Amino acid sequence: MSTISAVDLSGLALYMRPSCPYCIRVTDYCREHGVDLELRNIAEGQHLEALMVGGGKRQVPCLRIERQGQVRWLYESLDIIAYLQALHAN
């Protein structure tokens, strides 16, 4: 098992719902690869509001990526996993 823990994960937050199978796919990947993302459950009102305002839709999972003052919202579980894998590869 390779780990991504040495990669800078600051500025990343995963918007999710614990019962969402696609969210579980991402959180399982994170657990298996030592990725310690900040999790933001949209059942908590402030996280849903931030997702709607920032990302523009209610869809989860969504990875909020803040790098060098720029914010990007990445949807789709497989795209999120691919992004995390690319972080580890660099």
Average pLDDT over residues 55-76: 95
Q: Which helix (H) or strand (E) holds 74?
A: strand 70-75
Q: Which residue has the higher pLDDT, 3 or 69?
A: 69
Q: Is the per-residue pLDDT at 83 higher than 80? A: yes
Three-state DSSP at 17 gives coil
**CATH superfamily of the domain spanning 12-89:** Glutaredoxin (3.40.30.10)
| Order of all β-strands in the sheet with 70-75 | 38-41, 12-16, 62-67, 70-75
Q: Is the per-residue pLDDT at 82 higher than 70? A: yes
**Is this prediction's pTM over 0.85?**
yes
Q: Is the per-residue pLDDT at 4 higher than 70? A: no
Distance CA 88, CA 90 (A): 6
Confidence of residue 49 (pLDDT cuts 50, 70, 90): very high
Distances (CA, A) of 73 to 3, 32, 34, 35, 61: 24, 23, 22, 18, 10
